[in-house]
Amino acid sequence: MVSRRPDPWPQDHGGDVWVQPEGARVVDFSASINPYGPPPGLWEELGRVWPRIVHYPDRRCRGLRAALAHRFGLPGEVILPGNGSAELIDLVLRALAPARLVWCPPDFSLYAQFAPAGTALVEVPRQAARGFRVDFGRLAETVQPGDVVVFSNPGNPAGCLEPADEVLRLARRCRERGALVLVDEAFMDFCPEEGVLGRAADGGGILVLRSLTKFYALPGLRVGFLAGPADLVGRIARLQVPWSVNTLAQVAGAHCVGRRAWEEETRAAILGEAERFRERLGRLPGVRPLPSAANYLLVELLPPAPTATAAYEALARQGILVRHCGSFGLGDRYLRIAVRRPEENEELVGALEGILGVRRAAG
Ligand SMILES: Cc1ncc(COP(=O)(O)O)c(C=O)c1O
């Protein structure tokens, strides 16, 4: 039997709203999902295709793959849709089974969790003093033949954005050394200018992951995709459970990625609100939100602010769920807070003011 050390922290992932009593009001800041919901027309589209569930899904995801190829200007054969990008992280690591997986904690925990049994984990940490940026210099020195290097960009939980140039330079270095970079761009729709998806098919030592969960607000349907050199993507696809992307997820994905005007408006609304929300949080004593390129803020709590556990618990009692960052290895000092709608963000600021004993100025 495998023994598992009990996790000392309250959460190992965001979005677990299911533990609340049925009907209880929860405002979920713990998973970073677009608070405005999916693009218009999705419910009608899903209603229209509902009868198709009497058939197996299209195993090759032809419609979704074509929509993604069209949207991102890539050939269809370099794209592999998956049951969320989580499935694809697992598939890539199982298919490549590298001797070493080089990762950059604090970062998304599934990279380490899905490392195959024989894979050694090598850490090139992101330092708090450097705003949790990826240390490209150390990565380039560390990488050895056969390695897979993985990191999220923008980074989770800190939201820092690495320039595409740096990512591509590292990928070239990896290719020269016979290694590979897996860039997880789950949140790149919020800041697409630094994405390297368009370069994924070049054979330049890079695989790119995207998720439709966050920007398109589809966490419950499970849809993401991988892009990379066609031969490698084909090898990875052979390990995928057949029909893992269900019919509704395929239709929803194809519907969502074509909405360019909605995309622009959504991005502008969320990034504008992120800036305003950060500024509001930063005025609270001991509350230090870091700059972020995405729809979440990593918030450091310093005295007189309470510990992350105390803040998490006090907020939870008011039906407000935030992400405690203990399971990212950040101890009891950090929370990750999604950017939601202005009125919800104000509710959270008000709750924190209550916890901190701050009185609001009248008027
Ligand atoms: C950085 C990052 N990558 C990937 C995922 C997995 O997303 P999904 O499987 O919903 O596409 C998450 C989810 O939290 C994430 O934060």
Ligand 1 binding pocket includes 81 (Cβ within 6 Å): no
Q: Residue 169 has what pLDDT?
A: 96
Single-letter code of the amino acid located at 50: W
Please report the atom of ligand 1 found closest to the CA of residue 187. Answer: 1
Q: Which residues contact 219 (CB under 8 A, 6 or more apart)?
A: 15, 31, 33, 213
Q: What would the pLDDT profile of 131-181 be if each residue is shown by its tens digit?
A: 999 999 999 999 999 999 999 999 999 999 999 999 999 999 999 999 999
CA angle 106, 110, 116 (to 5 degrees): 115
Q: Residue 7 has what pLDDT?
A: 65
Q: Which residues contact 277 (CB under 8 A, 6 or more apart)?
A: 297, 339, 342, 345, 349
Q: Residue 18 has what pLDDT?
A: 74
Q: Give residue 260 CA to ligand 1 midpoint distance, Å.
A: 22
Q: Give residue 166 CA to ligand 1 midpoint distance, Å.
A: 22
Q: Report the chain's mean pLDDT, rounded to a whole number.
A: 94
**Rounded-to-10 torsion of CA 271, 272, 273, 279:** 110
The beta strand positions in 87-135, using DSSP E, are 100-103, 120-123
Please report the atom of ligand 1 found closest to the CA of residue 13. Answer: 14
Q: Give residue 261 CA to ligand 1 midpoint distance, Å.
A: 24
Q: Give residue 15 CA to ligand 1 midpoint distance, Å.
A: 11
Q: Give residue 154 CA to ligand 1 midpoint distance, Å.
A: 12
Q: Give residue 302 CA to ligand 1 midpoint distance, Å.
A: 28
Quick one: DSSP state of residue 149? E
Q: Residue 15 has what pLDDT?
A: 79
- Alpha carbon of residue 359 to chain centroid: 35
Single-letter code of the amino acid located at 133: R
Q: Residue 3 has what pLDDT?
A: 39
Q: Could you tell me if 339 and 296 are in contact, meaning their C-beta atoms sit under 8 angstroms apart?
A: yes
Mutate which of 87, 107, 212, 213 for ligand 1? The one with the most ligand atoms within 8 Å of its CB, which is: 213
Please report the atom of ligand 1 found closest to the CA of residue 222. Answer: 10
Ordered structural domains, the chain, with CATH: 17-30+261-356 (3.90.1150.10), 42-258 (3.40.640.10)
Q: Which residues contact 5 (CB under 8 A, 6 or more apart)?
A: none
Q: Quick one: angle between helices 308-317 and 342-356, nearest 10? A: 120
Ligand 1 binding pocket includes 159 (Cβ within 6 Å): no
Residues of the chain with pLDDT below 50 are 1-5, 363
98: preceding bond cis by omega (within 30 degrees): no
Q: What are phi and psi of 119, to 5 degrees?
A: -90, 125
Q: Residue 280 has what pLDDT?
A: 98
Say how far apart CA 268 and CA 208 lie, in whole Å. 24
Mutate which of 161, 212, 214, 246 for ligand 1? The one with the most ligand atoms within 8 Å of its CB, which is: 214
Q: What would the pLDDT profile of 25-34 be if each residue is shown by its tens digit?
A: 899 999 999 9
Q: What would the pLDDT profile of 222-247 be if each residue is shown by its tens digit?
A: 999 999 999 999 999 999 999 999 99
Q: Could you tell me if 299 and 335 are in contact, meaning their C-beta atoms sit under 8 angstroms apart?
A: yes
What phi-psi label fits residue 243: left (phi over 0), alpha (psi between -120 and 50 degrees) or beta?
Answer: left
Q: What are phi and psi of 123, to 5 degrees?
A: -105, 130
